[in-house]
Chain A
Amino acid sequence: MTQCFQINSRDNTAVLLDDAAAGEEIEIVGGAGTIVLRQDIEYGHKIALVDIPAGAAVIKYGIGIGHSIQPIRAGDWVHLHNCASDYDERSATLDVHTGAVTDTVYE
């Protein structure tokens, strides 16, 4: 079974340890039980372990690493499309899959 890694018991996210597809059941290493993915998620990316309401802290390493900008369901991919930094505004404009910049003009 593909695994995800929950770093701190307070975390509401975990790091996926391999690529996995929607519907797959994932073992939570460092936490308890399993969770079913709601989307395809890539290696190293975050999965929500519980429902996170809009505006709530997204927690990893036991600390807030930003806040949700829309309601997040347990099993969702947590990334730029639904989680924003409390500091860096530009990251919200980057391509959600590649991280490529979208606001610099090449012409």
Chain B
Amino acid sequence: MMNLQEYSWRGYLRADGRKGIRNLVLVIYTVECAQHVAHMIARDEPDTHVIGFPGCYDNQYAVRLMLALARHPNIGAVLAVGLGCEYTQPAKIAEIAAEAGRPSAWFYIQQAGGTAKSIAKGKEIVARLRAESAETAVIVPMTLADLTVGAECGGSDATSGIAGNPVTGAFYDLLVDAGGTAVFEETVEMLGLKSIILDRAALPQAADQLAAAYEKAEWYCQEVRQYSVAPGNFAGGLTTIEDKSMGAFVKGGSRPIQGVVKVGERPSHPGLWILDSVPDPHFMQFGYTNPNDTEGIMDLIASGAQIILFITGRGSVIGAPISLLIKITGNSKTYRHMSGDMDFDASRVLTGELSMPAAARELLEMVVRIASGESSKSEALGHREYFVMYKHQDTPALVDGCRV
């Protein structure tokens, strides 16, 4: 069997030392009024992805998230498009992307002269940015140690906790052993597990961070009276949030947890990390704990993950912009029924067809193939769902994480 250190492929070296597995152009719109123009600019441009923020009034959390995405290792160039009235400033986004070594540009639709002129102008800019990005690209070898892989569950059922997530956890152990970085979130799906989580802390400081994140998640769920569990989870055999939580936490594998990062931060060193996406206390108390799967996936991408593993027992069809999303199901019926959308069948560990170590290795080899350029099912189908919402998180102090 191949040594973990031997897996290698070619990627794009960025100014901050991180490496991307794709070289994409990102169009960012700064208000809902610019959303259609942004999508029309990216239409029929396969390497051009879109994200944006719908609000006119700006939000520090959303700005931090978008800036992290603009500097994501898979992004080679950035175009920011605004209408011209909103609070969020496309010029600042372009400026920060340029400082991070990305060819970038921005404009207002009002100044460009409306829809048709803005789309034409945007397409010209994208072509120029793409050419500049290709000219200046530094192509280097990559290994598993250069990868950050996020993991998120969605459409969970009872198989997620006994097949899909355990296989993901076993893969995470391999990734961490190879010097890579693993980030998973959903602290609102750790309810009832406080002592189990704290036992996994690498150091006392990490235990303090985990305790604080856990307590906030429990408090927030009680405050907003919303728990991260949906009708389909119950129909799929999960009975309580505690039931779902234990099944979800298994995706963290067995290695020590290095600490907690917040949205817009990235881990300061390799290993296994938890992302805290729960709102911090704020007088408006806006935001739900987990409004949908895509919201959590965006937060994981913002932590620098080039690849996202999405574990879905009941089946989901979503993909993601910027990062490559790989769908894993532990439900054999879902795999057969939605085979066009599912990348990995983890149910084989339940039937005895595949051992857990063999499943983890097979998943690792799929990750390497996709990092090397092969499409995941959601990428090939054109799924690029995104969701940037109003939320409040205190601006993280740059002690453990790094602002991205």
Contacts and interface: CB of A to CB of B under 8 A. Distances in A.
B239 A65 contact: yes
A88 B227 contact: yes
A46 to B, nearest CB: 7
B345 to A, nearest CB: 15
Nearest to B222: A87
A62 to B, nearest CB: 9
B113 interface: no
Interface in A70-101: 78-80, 83-91, 94-95, 97-101
A86 B222 CA distance: 12
Nearest to B196: A63
A80 B235 CA distance: 10
Contact of A87 (B161, B191, B232): B191
Interface stretch (B42-50, B70-78, B85-93, B242-250): B242-250
B232 A99 contact: yes
B162 A63 contact: no
B218 interface: yes
Given A61-B161, A90-B225, A84 B240 contact: yes
Nearest to B230: A99
A83 B250 CA distance: 22
Given A5-B350, A43-B333, A88-B229, A61 B246 contact: yes
B231 interface: yes
A44 to B, nearest CB: 3
A89 B386 CA distance: 31
B237 interface: yes
Interface residues of B, number: 35
B158 interface: yes
Nearest to B228: A88
B389 interface: no
Contacts, number: 104
B242 A65 contact: yes
A98 B183 CA distance: 32
B243 A66 contact: yes
B241 interface: yes
Contact of B236 (A44, A60, A80, A84): A44
Nearest to B231: A99
Interface residues of A, number: 36
B227 A86 contact: no
A17 interface: yes
Contact of B240 (A5, A43, A88): A88
A58 B235 CA distance: 18
B193 interface: yes
B221 interface: yes
A44 B237 contact: yes
Nearest to B163: A5
A38 interface: no
A4 to B, nearest CB: 11
B159 A85 contact: no
Given A44-B237, A60-B246, A84-B240, A65 B192 contact: yes
A46 B231 contact: no
B229 A46 contact: no
Interface of B: 157-159, 161-162, 191-193, 196, 218, 221-222, 225, 227, 229-237, 239-243, 246-247, 250, 313, 331, 333, 350
19 contacts: A43-B333, A61-B246, A63-B196, A65-B239, A66-B242, A79-B239, A84-B240, A85-B240, A87-B191, A87-B218, A87-B221, A87-B242, A88-B229, A88-B240, A90-B225, A90-B227, A91-B234, A97-B235, A98-B234
Given A15-B237, A65-B192, A99-B235, 5 more contacts: A43-B333, A88-B229, A89-B225, A99-B230, A100-B231
